[in-house]
Structure 1
Amino acid sequence: MQSWASPHGRPLPPVGQRTLVMGVLNVTPDSFSDGGQLPTREAVVARAREMMASGADVLDIGGESTRPGAAWVSADDELARVLPAITAVRQALPDVPLSIDTYKAEVAEAAVAAGADIINDVWGLAFGLSAEERARWREPARDVAGVVDPGRLWERLPAHRPGSPSPATNAASPLRVSPMALAAARTKAPVILMHNRLDRNYRDFWGDMLLDLQMSLALACAAGIPPHQLWLDPGFGFAKTPAHNLEVLRELRRIVALGFPVLVGTSRKSTLGLVLGTGVDDRCEAGGATIVWAIQQGCAMVRVHDVRESVRFARTADAIKAGLNFSPPDHG
């Protein structure tokens, strides 16, 4: 299977050899656990160097908090936060894979143009679509429910073709392709499709969740994004109760079975605080437990704040999973 590739030709870490670690690099004033900690370009670069030295494989730069109740940020304000950070990190660490954490089309395109390699979208390419449009996009997704081979899936989904009536309209159907899906396709960057929805009204939790993810895949296919450039994320903490969050971890293999690499981001989230009865800065052990569990279920990358500790959890879990195939790494 073809591996994911940066539009800049920068090497991205191979998928599947070991669990990858994505370090969170927020340049927001109000993120739930680390808002306002990186007020200058120098502080951003220092944190980036620290994370890479601790074992991070990818750095995820975000300019808008997605915590419950966070203030909405305009695209201009978000760009004013993330572009200087991307430029500074890219100048200091030219070979580091960078991800842009955004759901806005204009931010994604500008960030990739500035040097980001990957788009991490918490709305799974569906931002900008109405509830009715999302419901209509679930229909082609429903047609491929149960298809777990990415190649076969792409053959059966409607694809965007040149010459369609509108650049935002799928030629094979009247469904409108989202602005973010089309923008992501133009960048030629890998895209992480996170599960999210407008409400928590699940009729059948797993059936609805898998259908939502298939909807995001259908949008990606319609926009012309190749399957080897796509990841899935269960969206721990998004449009889910604490019980839902724990369930998506418990049965993560159901998402892994769709055939795409899976990213899991549980770091410091409120469900872990609820389990332990601890504050936001005292959840590292709970995060480590979720990392070990997710790796056992087949996840390919974890998104974390505490890179040094998380790398150790991941390496140990990888070693256990390897069993008789374990080969001691070279720590020199």
Structure 2
Amino acid sequence: MTVFDDAALDDPAALAGADPILRRLAGAGSRVRRETADADDPLDQLLGQPRPRAVIAAGSEARFIRAILEPVCPVPFVAWPRHGLPGWVGALDLVVVMASDVAPPSVVATVHEAVRRGALLLIACPAASVVADHAGGSSTILLPTATGDPLAAAVVALSALHRMDLGPAVVPDGVADTMDEVARDCSPMADVTENPAKDLALCLADAQPLVWGGSVLAARASRRVAEALRAATGRAALAADADELLPIIEATTSRDPFADPFTDGAAADRRPCLVLLDDGNNDPMIRADHGRLVAAAERADIRVSVVQHRRGSDVDRYAALLQTGMFASVYLSVGLGRAAA
């Protein structure tokens, strides 16, 4: 059994191995600012564009775009997870694609199909990339990206959609400031007693994470955080709705205070820890689910860790929850002596 080393979270030597990924997480705000500045000229082209019949998003962060746009978009919106496009897409529609310089063939196929059908194509990708080569056309608007950060590219795409009156206002500088704030709070230099990411890592040290986010955006963040936790630990980490998590919590037997963590290590590793991502959404159904989960965890003697960010726009709160979870996954890998994911 791998034993979690609490002291490693404040040990410069242990943290040095995770320095590259910690630096990249800390630079998330600056990447948002850079991508936004580089896209100023293309964004100006969007003013006065006619309203499309429908919007189809594909590629990286398409589901995040859907979570932001779907409640307010004045036209039908689809997040398309497959290659190509739905059969009804044509010249009256807008296709939004976010891709890196090594986009998978499915994204390239989607871009090629959008150009072939004459749809308006809004694409965030590096100007020198395979996907950009397939995006050439009179109906293509390229938002050039340079940092390889999918969330930064998504923020630029959301700014573009707002200029087309298809989505809510997004303030990239505000998102960047929020990311900078998380980077300060979760810095490796911040002591474990006042660092929310290190605190979460300690809660998950010997546990199976169960991650819940009540709102659409918090739920999306929960799935991204669970992916990072799986990579950090090699353990199962589940992100799901309250009704799906409750049977797991309720089936967990009470903790044995006399269990030996070394001889009973395998069982201890499988014990759940409930992680609640709270973005301040006060919808009565969400708060009711929150209460049901906490009550069930208390009955089963399951640890509960709350990651909370209630200030700012929807995108600000999503970014804060996601970044805190990402920092926690790195600290978890450090404490377990695993290479940072």
Same fold (TM over 0.5): no
Larger Rg: 2
**What's the TM-score once normalised by structure 2's chain length?**
0.29
Structure 1 or 2: more helix by fraction: 2
